[in-house]
Amino acid sequence: MVNTMNRHLLLGLALAAATAGAAGPAHASLELAKKYNCLACHQVDKKVVGPAFRDIAAKHQGDAGAAAKLVEKVKKGGGGVYGPVPMPPNANVPDADIKALVDWVLAGAK
């Protein structure tokens, strides 16, 4: 009886971990976008000051080097690609968080 209960508990924990892992990265990246104030200038599906995250993903679809370019752009800032308003540098954001945000954006910001 105890072994059966332990197995069910382990199966339940494994299922919960797998489910959380599937939903976790997108949720975590949206939380990162909120944490670092990205949403002041960008939204998932509409242009604000900067382009919509989904427009960025569409523009870079099929570009194998897009992630590296965008990580650099987010870190150092830049302008002229989507209009006259430059994006300020985000040197205070850890590289791992920038990478997570860029990967999330390039995946369609779902």
- Contact between 99 and 36 under an 8 Å Cβ cutoff? The reply is no
Question: For residue 30, what is the domain's CATH number?
Answer: 1.10.760.10
Global pTM reads: 0.75
Q: What's the rounded Cα separation, in Å, for the pair 110 and 105?
A: 8
> Buried b / exposed e across 67-93, counting CB within 10 Å, b at 16+?
eeebbebbbeeeeeeeeeeebeebeeb
Structural domain contains residue 5:
no
Structural domain contains residue 100:
yes
Structural domain contains residue 82:
yes
Provide the number of structural domains found in the chain. 1
State the residue range of the domain holding 74. Answer: 24-106
**What would the pLDDT profile of 52-105 be if each residue is shown by its tens digit?**
999 999 999 999 999 999 999 999 999 988 999 999 999 999 999 999 999 999
Rg (CA), the chain: 18
**What would the pLDDT profile of 43-53 be if each residue is shown by its tens digit?**
999 999 999 99
Structural domain contains residue 19:
no
CB count in 10 Å sphere of residue 32: 18
